[in-house]
Structure 1
Amino acid sequence: MPSALPPVVLHQLSLASTVLDAELGSAIVSMHVFGSAVDTGLQPSSDLDLLVTVDEAPSESQRSAVLTQLLTVSAPPGASAMLRPLEVTVLSLAHLKPWRYPARRELQFGEWLRHDLLAGVFEAPMRDPDLAILITKVRDSSIALRGPEASALLPHVPQADLERALLDTVGQWNQPEDWAGDERNIVLALARCWYTAWTGRICSKQEAAAWVLERVDDRHKAVVANARAAYLGLEQDTLPIQPDAVQAFVRDARTEVEQKLAG
């Protein structure tokens, strides 16, 4: 594994690789780490993002085994000094090439699924618009832990499909219950969508927030600034007690993205 990554991250990736090898074995074509670990450095609450590509779709029993065993090498934010929250996405090349939108994911692991996984509830493979954004990001900036560089393996996502993914993403957030309990992450996700809609590029949460802060009024500045500072571990997250301000930002940010892409 690349020595540029911190030892504690390398250790957790090694643990995750052991789980994946045990369940998926020779079907694994590549593993790529991406996101904060590669770009701007992991923040206190950052997930450790891993994309795994296989040459054949895993069976139902393999998927449930992977998801269950990954629970042992991941931890909720702040719960462990050694383990970060893992976010692991598994894609099959058979469903990626030729490219079609939305692409299909075989499985996704994340700490937000822990309760369901412990209860034996496992998502089936599904079409996921967000994969257009994820694949674009991994092709642009990632570290190959195994297999070829991402740009040589993963399909190019056409700009039109990246824009469709942005619209589908922001279209999820309509009512307060759509972001209740996850206000900070939704605000930052909207900032990233806004940035990408304007620039065609994908950047980190804190970079997108800084970009948006230069373009919003004082009311929205308070929301975005708190989301960014809380993500960086500099302030307490106060967004759950600012429901009207959060709702106003979600509405206006979504409108900005939709109007830009409609043009």
Structure 2
Amino acid sequence: MASKFLLCSFKTCPWVQRAAIVLREKQIPYDISYIDRDNRPAWFLAISPHAKVPVVQIDGKDALFESNAIAEYLEETTAPRLHPEDPIARARNRAWTDYVTTFASAISSAMYSDSEEEFTAKAAKIAGPFGKLDEALAGRGNAGPYFNGPKLSLVDAAYAPFLQRYTFMDRLRPLGIIEKFARLAAWRDALLNAPAVKASTVPNIEAVWQENLILRKRWLAKYVPQSVLGAAAA
């Protein structure tokens, strides 16, 4: 009998989206529970040591936290395999997956800036991680469109949510950064058009993300139309 999975989420969380992409790509049925960030229920706190998402509960009993642990568990227990078969390629994928924290931090730091000066300074630092990934894509030894070639992998699932958030931010306040890195831009386009990525969030994710900027009173919120208020409740 197949296991039953419950994915605990905040609607805008990119780390949850990473787990959802893996579940979707492996065609694993799952339920999702959206946690109130400001009123986290006791049952959730009991299974999430950091009081954070994502958490995956399996058959109402075992609970896994941290997006990388969840992705690796799903990879070990369900087909199709998303890691490369070659041990060196697999290790290289894991190494670049680990780099996602640096990549994500550069984007999130700019995204949640409190002033124009802070935004400008932090946005300028995005080019560094973008350049590293562009170099990695140059040396991957395949024609794409994904990191390992024609099939989506765990490393793709790790980066897709943050490339999506960068794209949302770029639409609000054009940055002109990703255009300097042709391979990264092409990878971004392929990922955001992948069926598993498209199905990994609420349908109105961009509006929900924009509303979150308003609610958190971030500088970028000045570019967000007030019409998005209420998007998360839709």
TM score, norm. by length of structure 2: 0.31
User: As a proportion of its length, which structure holds more strand?
Assistant: 1
Q: Which has the higher contact order (CA 8 A, sep 6+)?
A: 2
